[in-house]
A and B are shown apart, each in its own frame.
Chain A
């Protein structure tokens, strides 16, 4: 990707020609920093270590406005009466309140699949944590490049 295209896509072309932009890296976000979500995840899992994978997370690679980013989550696990996905949590490491939502499912949900629209306060990794019967956990992360941040962007 040419530098000019990259700057245009990141929305920084007119405002930050002075900022050095490293190729292949997202531009530095000066307003809302990325936080360490490990303590929050530990709180949600009760200290258990989540297994990576097992969750399909559909998010656009580029969100043109962080105020509303569509998201679809599919957990690859049965929904049987004694073995089902009990909860799905969405964590956004750069949001001022990283815990975005918690969904609670039942066997009668039939399918561990949820869609919603989230706010993202800048380019970041979005983490999805799924809780299964027996306090087991799955985790998947997805990168989203956000060209107009939500939460801290005052617009007309």
Chain B
């Protein structure tokens, strides 16, 4: 399970975009580094992230090794009714992680 954090304002206005912030714990190994024995450390990155609100996708990302370790992402979402923001990600080894946060629409 890949650890991650999510931040969403607890209260949002109907139909008004609010910021979703995500931080994922992952080395995002580029595949170019070598260990102390000179062996290349294999590519190991989070390559896909998807955000859904009320089950519908609002944002997704395809990431490469050019994203910094412990990837940080902030983007916007909108909702008409109170609900939950869910974010899932997976890496190139098939490991996954997810976080979610509830919000209320005023």
Binding site for B on A (CB under 8 A): 67-69, 79, 90, 92, 95-106, 108-120, 150-152, 154
Interface of B: prevailing SS: strand
Give A79 to B76 CA distance when docked, in angstroms: 11
Instruction: Report the minimum CB–CB distance from A149 to chain B (whole Å).
Output: 11
Instruction: Report the minimum CB–CB distance from B40 to chain A (whole Å).
Output: 12
- Which residues on A sit within 8 Å (CB–CB) of B102? none
- Which residues on A sit within 8 Å (CB–CB) of B3? none
**Most chain B Cβ neighbours within 10 Å, of A95, A98, A112, A116:** A116
Known pairs A110-B16, A116-B71, A154-B34; A100 contacts B58 (CB<8 A): no
In the complex, what residue of chain A is closest to B65 when comparing beta carbons? A97
Count A/B pairs, Cβ under 8 Å. 100
Point out the residue from B16, B61, B75 that lies within 8 Å of A102, measured CB to CB. Answer: B61
Known: A68-B69, A119-B30; 13 extra A-B contacts, CB below 8 A, are: A101-B64, A108-B56, A108-B77, A108-B79, A110-B77, A111-B76, A112-B76, A113-B76, A115-B74, A116-B71, A118-B67, A120-B66, A154-B34
* B62 beta carbon closer than 8 Å to chain A: yes
- Could you list 20 examples of A-B contacts with CB < 8 Å? A67-B68, A92-B66, A97-B66, A100-B66, A101-B67, A103-B59, A103-B61, A103-B75, A105-B59, A106-B57, A109-B76, A110-B78, A111-B17, A111-B76, A115-B74, A116-B71, A150-B68, A151-B65, A152-B32, A154-B34
